[in-house]
Amino acid sequence: MARITLDHIRHAYGPKPSTDKDYALKEVHHEWDDGGAYALLGPSGCGKTTLLNIISGLLTPSEGKILFDGTDVTHLSTEKRNIAQVFQFPVIYDTMTVYDNLAFPLRNRRMPEGEVDKRVHDILSMIDLSEWAGRKAQGLTADQKQKISLGRGLVRSDVNAILFDEPLTVIDPHMKWVLRSQLKRLHRQSGFTMVYVTHDQTEALTFADKVVVMYEGEIVQIGTPVELFERPRHTFVGYFIGSPGMNFMPAAVSGSALVVGDQQIPLEGQPLTAPNAKLELGIRPEFVRVAREGMPISISQIEDVGRQKIVRASFQGYPLAAVMSEDTEIPADPRVTFEPAGLNLYADSWRVEAGGQQ
Amino acid sequence: MSTSNVKRSWSWIVATLYILFLILPIYWLINMSFKSNSEILGNFSLWPQSPTLRNYMVIFTDPSWYNGYINSIIYVVMNTVISVTVALPAAYAFSRYRFLGDKHLFFWLLTNRMAPPAVFALPFFQLYSAFGLIDTHIAVAIAHCLFNVPLAVWILEGFMSGVPKEIDETAYIDGYSFPRFFVKIFMPLIASGIGVAAFFCFMFSWVELLIARTLTTTDAKPIAATMTRTVSASGMDWGVLAAAGVLTIIPGALVIYFVRNYIAKGFALGRV
Amino acid sequence: MNKTWNNKAWFLVLPVLLLVAFSAIIPLMTVVNYSVQDTFGNNQFFWAGTDWFSDVLHSDRFWDALVRNLIFSFVILAIEIPLGIFIALNMPKTGIGVPVCLVLMALPLLIPWNVVGTIWQVFGRVDIGLLGHYLRILGIDYNYTQDPVDAWVTVIVMDVWHWTSLVVLLCYAGLVSIPDAYYQAAKIDGASRWSVFRYIQLPKMKRVLLIAVLLRFMDSFMIYTEPFVVTGGGPGNSTTFLSIDLVKMAVGQFDLGPAAAMSIIYFLIILLLSWVFYTVMTSQDAKS
């Protein structure tokens, strides 16, 4: 178990990076707590796998240092870093039994057989595979195999961190859900630092204490699921998290109000922005109220999704989505209001923190 | 990515040593082919002291020599075309359908690949004599089908099984007839498999001597047979023998070059 | 893949069936026919029953050739399979040199078999061959036309030269199909080089190795051309393998009856081996 410090890390795959564009991973400078559950979330090509490989030691960063509990491990090999990793598809030793698969990392480290037996049985019951112990690993289902590869990480009590590289890719939708909740439980039981790479927001939000959202090679926000939802620091986080994503519309500041089209939306206080920045108003569909009062909109579509419905509308020529409970009635002449708590202002895609609605 | 540089250079050493072992005898043959007989027998040298093209000239000017090459190429190409053509539908049947006796049939085909040519040499001679086919190209081409067709079926079946069945079904839904689907859609999908199968047919037909020699006398005699006979008759013309040998390596080398990207998968018969 | 039951598929198989029947069944029937008859020339045949079979099975000549063939196949496998695995394991996986390596390695496989014989005949000769010449200089008394041991060594080295690449290429194909993640996981688990071989590489190579072992066994069991060119089966009968003996008997001495009987025994041995091969292969296919 360890605290992971990423000290001014940058990485480029090309030999001589000069501009910012050459870096697959732009500067990362963060510290991750011991025993935390972190998710790296972002679309493919955003640099999350690069960052994971830097932590696991498969890649040496072009610049910067990585420290485990304050010890520099930048140039240590994977095996010396004492980490475990679960890959996209299950990596198991086909010819061994489930038991031997779990014992393998311990036996390689010359642990006495008695202790091995104890550890392996602990882990077997933890991952619910006790009755499969004597079976050949080959014939198991994908989720059982994935649990074995996870178990091989958990079995070592000294690992600094367990890394997950999109571990649920090949798992059936139903088993995904089961495994996800088991993973959460295992994290609490074991107390290992876990880093989980995924492009699926549900996986990230349910698993992690802290979600690290990455976009085009940089970390755009690190926060709890609630923070990501309520206060996205970057328009990308707004789009990417939540379903449907955040509504954005170009806006201008006039006095203490935002102007969208010919509508004025009052703000609490004057935001401080550079005069030539591109300003956008962002509001989550959950904070949009459709009623008889407010600003005019025209509704184009209503989608029924279980207990909620999504209203697709046009507001001042910009698309606007609203989420409301199933039984809310939509008036014939619909109007809209924005809850002040849900208003966010973005300048050049980054959230304006100062001044306004903190 | 994960291998260290030290390990990488070590791996090149093994491969290099092995290739050296493979190349050395071939080099010696090439070396000899540029020497005169008196130099070969007279003084030992690692490369030709007075290089000569005489040996190659002998082959290129004497019809009994160069016809051997032409004969070999003719029946090898005929065999490759026949083998792949008949193997394609059969391999499709084996990869897509179950039918009465399919397993037994497949096994029986495979046993022919395993049949020792020595067993078949004599009966072949009598069979083809009866049909008046002795000393024709087609006789050798058909005889070589004995082991090439099963092999082609086997390789193609391996590659075809890798193509999802949904593709066939989609094509039929789109209104393709079977022949049109097979030629227009399916064959392009397994193009590499067809290439590998053709490569193997070419290879085994090209390297086989026993049957080819038995079924031919003069008009369709393969180069390989020409070599063995001329050698015993002319009292060991080493230079010409070496030159003829070098020339038999060239077609094989050319064919490998064309399939170089599929070699590994091809030799695993599409079954990795 | 689950296949649909369709007997019309027979039509697709028909061309293959007819062609192979023509090249295999008719000749085989001829052989069977000869094996149970005797002739005194002028095309008169007499029923000979199983006499030829018992003759063959009681002749030292057949058993000697069979034993020689089995020893040869065994030695070939014992050398080529481990050597092939070793070379494949140490093959570079990436780089521009890889295709060059593969092409050069495949080269011996495409040389006509009698030319392979010729190459080694020349290479090993004491007077004009590189190998023979240098062995002589090193003070080793080597002459494959006189000494049976030298003849065996030459034939075996020749076969190793000729066919090890097949094993290398098969194993290499198996190895490159292993995803990087397996090696990374093994590193993380602290596996030794041996463990990586034993638990990752060997299991992945199992199928192709099976193909390699059986192909090499069959082909070495049928070997004819290469040793025939180099040694002609000699010195004495020391390198007379089954095929060489059979051709000698059938074409050289025109002893059709015994030759046919021997062909059938030979073929039955091969059939048995093919059956083992096929059963093992299909059970592997079924498992994966």
Instruction: Burial-class residue B126 by CB neighbours within 10 Å (0-12, 13-18, 19+).
Output: middle
User: Hunting for tokens 């311990």 — which residue is that?
Assistant: A106
Residue A137 · residue A109 · CB < 8 Å: no
**Pairwise CA distance, residues C152 & A141, whole Å:** 52
Residue C20 · residue B109 · CB < 8 Å: yes
Residue A85 phi, psi dihedral angles, 5° rounding: -140, 140
C250: Cα within 13 Å, side-chain hemisphere: 27
Dmax (CA) for chain C in angstroms is 79
**Pairwise CA distance, residues A128 & C115, whole Å:** 63
Q: Which amino acid is at A313?
A: A
Chain C closest-CA separation from residue B53 CA (Å):
19
Give how far Cα C222 sits from Cα of A80, B203, C27, C81, C244, Å. 53, 17, 18, 18, 9
Nearest by Cα to A155 from A102, A114, A195:
A102
Chains interfacing with B (3 or more CB pairs < 8 Å): A, C
Residue B189 · residue B266 · CB < 8 Å: no
Angle between helical axes of B238-258 and B223-233 (0-180°, round to 10):
170
- A65, β-bridge pairs: A7
3-state class of A60 per DSSP? coil
Residues in chain C whose Cβ is within 8 Å of chain A: 179, 181-182, 184-185, 187-192, 195, 199-200, 203
**Pairwise CA distance, residues A91 & A89, whole Å:** 6
Report the residue of chain A nearest C197, measured CA to CA. Answer: A93
B-proximal residues of C, 178-197, CB under 8 Å: 180, 183-184, 187
User: Hunting for tokens 């306004």 — which residue is that?
Assistant: A356
- Give tens-digit pLDDT for A292-313: 888 888 888 888 888 888 899 9
Predicted local confidence at residue A308, as pLDDT: 86
Residue C123 · residue C142 · CB < 8 Å: no
Between A73 and C251, where is the model more confident? A73
Calculate the dihedral angle through the C-alpha atoms of A346, A351, A353, A356, rounding to the nearest 10 degrees: 30
Determine the topology of domain C60-287 in CATH: MetI-like fold (1.10.3720)
Chain B interface includes A60 (CB < 8 A):
no
- Give tens-digit pLDDT for C217-275: 888 888 887 888 888 777 777 788 888 888 877 766 667 777 888 888 888 887 887 77
**Pairwise CA distance, residues A223 & C250, whole Å:** 86
The distance of Cα C93 from the centroid of its chain, to the nearest Å, equals 28
- 3-state SS record for C129-180: CHHHHHHHHCCCCCCCCCCHHHHHHHHHHHHHHHHHHHHHHHHHHHHHCCCH
**Pairwise CA distance, residues B179 & B71, whole Å:** 33
**Pairwise CA distance, residues A303 & A288, whole Å:** 16
A-proximal residues of B, 1-60, CB under 8 Å: 1-2
For domain B62-267, the question of CATH label 3.90.850.10 is answered with no
The answer to whether C199 contacts A93, with C-beta atoms less than 8 Å apart, is yes
Positive or negative: CA dihedral A134, A135, A138, A140? negative
User: Is pLDDT of A191 > 80?
Assistant: yes
Contact list in A for residue B2 (CB cut-off 8 A) is 58, 78
Long-range contacts of C235-238 (CB under 8 A, 24+ apart): C235/C145, C235/C146, C235/C147, C235/C148, C235/C151, C236/C148, C237/C61, C237/C64, C237/C65, C238/C68, C238/C148, C238/C151, C238/C152
Predicted local confidence at residue C250, as pLDDT: 73
pLDDT band at A260 (very low <50, low <70, confident <90, very high): confident
3-state class of A252 per DSSP? strand
First-to-last C-alpha distance (Å) of chain A = 36
Give how far Cα C1 sits from Cα of A31, A138, B158, Å. 50, 19, 12
- The DSSP element (H or E) to which A89 belongs, if any, is none
Domain range list for chain A: 4-235, 245-351
Instruction: Burial-class residue C38 by CB neighbours within 10 Å (0-12, 13-18, 19+).
Output: middle
Angle at B255 between CA C81 and CA C99, to 5 degrees: 60
Angle at A70 between CA A69 and CA A76, to 5 degrees: 85
The answer to whether B99 contacts C5, with C-beta atoms less than 8 Å apart, is yes
Which mean pLDDT values do the consecutive 10-residue runs of chain C (288 residues) have? 74 85 80 74 64 78 86 92 92 79 88 86 81 82 81 90 90 85 87 89 84 83 82 78 80 74 83 77 64
Chain C closest-CA separation from residue B56 CA (Å):
16
Q: What is the number of residues in chain A?
A: 358
* CB neighbour list of residue A180: distance below 8 Å, 6 or more residues apart: A168, A203, A206, A207
| Optimal mutation site among C62, C110, C130, C219, interface B, most CBs of chain B within 10 A | C110
For domain A4-235, the question of CATH label 3.40.50.300 is answered with yes
Q: What is the full per-residue pLDDT of chain B (272 aa) written as tens digits? A: 344 444 555 668 888 899 999 999 999 889 888 888 777 777 777 778 888 888 888 888 888 888 888 889 999 999 999 999 999 999 999 888 888 888 788 878 877 777 777 777 778 888 888 888 888 899 899 889 888 898 888 888 888 888 888 888 888 888 888 888 888 889 988 888 888 888 889 988 988 888 888 888 877 888 777 776 555 445 667 888 888 889 888 888 888 887 777 766 666 665 54
The answer to whether A95 contacts C181, with C-beta atoms less than 8 Å apart, is no
pLDDT band at A240 (very low <50, low <70, confident <90, very high): confident
**Pairwise CA distance, residues C154 & B223, whole Å:** 25
Percent of chain A scoring above 70 in pLDDT: 96
Name the average pLDDT for chain A.
85
Chain B interface includes C176 (CB < 8 A):
yes
Q: Tokens representing A116?
A: 């091995």
Long-range contacts of B104-111 (CB under 8 A, 24+ apart): B105/C13, B105/C17, B106/B153, B107/C274, B107/C275, B107/C278, B109/B149, B109/B150, B109/B153, B109/B154, B109/C16, B109/C20, B110/B150, B110/B154, B110/C274, B110/C277, B110/C278, B111/C270, B111/C271, B111/C274
A47: Cα within 13 Å, side-chain hemisphere: 24
Report the residue of chain B nearest A57, measured CA to CA. Answer: B2
Q: Tokens representing B237?
A: 């013309």
The answer to whether C188 contacts A149, with C-beta atoms less than 8 Å apart, is no
- Give tens-digit pLDDT for A201-225: 888 888 888 999 998 888 889 989 8
Nearest by Cα to A330 from A318, A307, A313:
A313
Chain A closest-CA separation from residue C276 CA (Å):
23
Dmax (CA) for chain A in angstroms is 76
Predicted local confidence at residue C79, as pLDDT: 94
**Pairwise CA distance, residues A321 & C6, whole Å:** 54
Predicted complex ipTM: 0.82
Angle between helical axes of B63-96 and B102-114 (0-180°, round to 10):
160
User: Is pLDDT of A157 > 60?
Assistant: yes
**Pairwise CA distance, residues C163 & C109, whole Å:** 7
Of the partner residues B18, B107, B115, the one whose CB lies closest to the CB of residue C270: B115
- The DSSP element (H or E) to which C210 belongs, if any, is helix C202-221
Domain range list for chain C: 60-287
The answer to whether C188 contacts A94, with C-beta atoms less than 8 Å apart, is no
3-state class of B170 per DSSP? helix
Chains interfacing with C (3 or more CB pairs < 8 Å): A, B
3-state class of A337 per DSSP? strand
Report the residue of chain C nearest A159, measured CA to CA. Answer: C188
Predicted local confidence at residue B3, as pLDDT: 42
Q: Tokens representing C123?
A: 């290479």
Q: Is the bond preceding C235 in cis, omega lying within 30 degrees of 0? A: yes
Q: Which DSSP string do the residues of A187-209 spell out, in sequence order?
A: HHHH---EEEEES-HHHHHHH-S
Determine the topology of domain A245-351 in CATH: OB fold (Dihydrolipoamide Acetyltransferase, E2P) (2.40.50)
Nearest by Cα to A101 from A126, A128, A120:
A120
Chain B interface includes C105 (CB < 8 A):
yes
SS3 content of chain A, % helix, strand, coil (to 5): 30, 35, 40
Residue A22 · residue A12 · CB < 8 Å: yes
Residue B79 phi, psi dihedral angles, 5° rounding: -60, -45
C285: Cα within 13 Å, side-chain hemisphere: 16
Predicted local confidence at residue A358, as pLDDT: 36
First-to-last C-alpha distance (Å) of chain B = 23
Long-range contacts of A131-135 (CB under 8 A, 24+ apart): A132/A98, A133/A97, A133/A98, A133/A99, A134/A97, A134/A98, A134/A99, A135/A97, A135/A98
Chain B closest-CA separation from residue C71 CA (Å):
18
Residue B200 · residue B159 · CB < 8 Å: no
| Radius of gyration in angstroms for the set of CA atoms belonging to chain B, rounded to a whole number | 23
Residue A336 · residue A320 · CB < 8 Å: yes
Nearest by Cα to B272 from C145, A133, C173, C222:
C173
Q: Tokens representing B230?
A: 């001329």
